[in-house]
Amino acid sequence: MNLVYKVNDKPKFGQLIVFALQQLLAILAATIAVPSIVGNGMSQSAALFGAGVGTIVYLLFTKFKSPVFLGSSFAFLGSMFAAFGGAASTAVGYAGLVIGAVFAGLVYVIIAIIVKYAGVAWIRKLMPAVVIGPTVAIIGLSLAGNAIGDALKGAVLDNGTYIMNTQGWVSLICALVTLLTVVFCSVKGKKMMKLIPFIIGIVAGYIVALIFTLIGNASGNDALKVLDFTAFSSMKWVPEFTFIKAFEGFQTITAKYILSITVAYVPVAFVVFAEHIADHKNLSTIIDQDLLEEPGLHRTLLGDGIGSMAGAFFGGCPNTTYGESVGCVAITGNASVITILCTAIIAIAASFFAPFVTFLSTIPSCVMGGVCITLYGFIAVSGLKMLQPVDLNDNRNLFTASVILIAGIGGMTLKIGSVTITEIACALILGIIVNLLFNRPAKNDQ
């Protein structure tokens, strides 16, 4: 695609700050959602700090050639719950978060060493375009329900159908204003407007939400109160880092608990490895540079793995490359890696400025839902674009792509013991099996 800023380009300082803020907005909701879901006193600010540090680690390992932000990974939610569930105390649970992330990161390190000496030819054989394309599409499609659920926040979901009420209509209006503003800026915008469609869209949606909230306050109608500013009353100015709480837990940890953490984290790392490949293949097509070759898959794996360890050390959440970040790069045409670095620095600085983080957390779900419809949709379409050179008139290719799409869209998520294999991983594994049994990669699938 035509990029406005390529990987090595450096926007002007003022523009750089705005572009970085846009990236931060794109990844913020998911990054701070993980500690909120896990609970146990986990800090959103610390997770944001850990994401910033993890991203910088990733950029260093990839020689500043891969423009993507690392944020809290949802894939490890079950593992994090297990860390607290099997712990004798909360402190031990925090120690488990750090130990588990180290084990998961070591999986990446080991795979990186194998890739370094064995090359990536085996990856291409396992995951040609007919496999990786539908898998990337599934990454976007699997998130579609989250985007729509946020856009219709407050509507009653009954057997898969949203029953509209006042709150549902208000959310939908805010989401549509955000969505249409983003699309307008991306399609019709000139110069700077085209480069910051998400910021403009979020501001537009926020203004509409504020108007509804003011009317709701004046009329006493709670259904119109979209914005919630109560979070300002309980702001924490200094992030509560995981390693501080884990220090006490390390002193009472048992060998049995460490074994349970290993079982909870290590298998998930192999699942996330598949998503790592899909994200980087997708990003490669966007920046027109094969990241598996340069800087190399071994470097992206090391960056992701060590960055994940760093993220958990500070914030408790293992990190992963974010589809929202990839989508933001693609839609805005800004692949400048300096923008990603600036985003990471802002994330670290913002984690110590409670009013800023709290204000960002007041952006309503419906507004972010409007943004995410475009981001997740672009990921899905990017995967389908990868299928363009594939001959789908050949039944071997047709069936390979078909089983991936159906398994993924159908929600083929399997729980085996304490390990949850996501629909993306299940779809990819099934696609690889079908492809290896019945297909040989053609040249245009390489």
Two tokens, residue 121: 């030819």
Q: Is 228 buried (19+), middle (13-18) or exposed (0-12) by CB count in 10 A?
A: exposed
What is the span of the domain harbouring residue 368?
A: 13-440
Whether 2 is in a domain gets the answer no
Whether 8 is in a domain gets the answer no
Residues 6+ apart with CB under 8 A from 392: 398, 401
Q: Round to whole Å and give the CA distance between 80 and 174.
A: 34
pLDDT band at 28 (very low <50, low <70, confident <90, very high): confident
Q: Which residues pair with 158 in a beta bridge?
A: 161
Whether 4 is in a domain gets the answer no
Whether 6 is in a domain gets the answer no
Q: Which of 260, 253, 245, 241 is nearest to 79 (CA)?
A: 260
Q: Please give the residue that has the higher pLDDT: either 378 or 207.
A: 207
Give the pLDDT score at 420. Answer: 64
Q: Round to whole Å and give the CA distance between 61 and 14.
A: 27
Contact 320, 75 (CB under 8 A): yes
Give the pLDDT score at 419. Answer: 61
Indicate whether 51 pLDDT > 70: yes
Whether 398 is in a domain gets the answer yes
Extended beta strands in 300-405, E state: 319-321
Express each pLDDT in 261-300 by its tens digit.
888 888 778 767 877 888 898 899 899 999 999 999 999 9
Coil, helix or strand for 166?
helix
Indicate whether 163 pLDDT > 90: yes
Kind of pairing between the strands at 414-416 and 70-72: unpaired
pLDDT band at 353 (very low <50, low <70, confident <90, very high): confident
Give the pLDDT score at 85. Answer: 84
Whether 3 is in a domain gets the answer no
Whether 161 is in a domain gets the answer yes
pLDDT band at 215 (very low <50, low <70, confident <90, very high): very high
pLDDT band at 13 (very low <50, low <70, confident <90, very high): very high
**How far is residue 446 from each of residues 101, 120, 323, measured CA to CA in Å?**
33, 11, 23
Express each pLDDT in 116-145 by its tens digit.
998 888 877 888 889 888 887 887 888 888
As for how many domains the chain has, the answer is: 1
Q: Round to whole Å and give the CA distance between 231 and 442.
A: 55
Q: Please give the residue that has the higher pLDDT: either 157 or 29.
A: 157
The model's pTM: 0.80
Whether 445 is in a domain gets the answer no
Indicate whether 442 pLDDT > 60: no
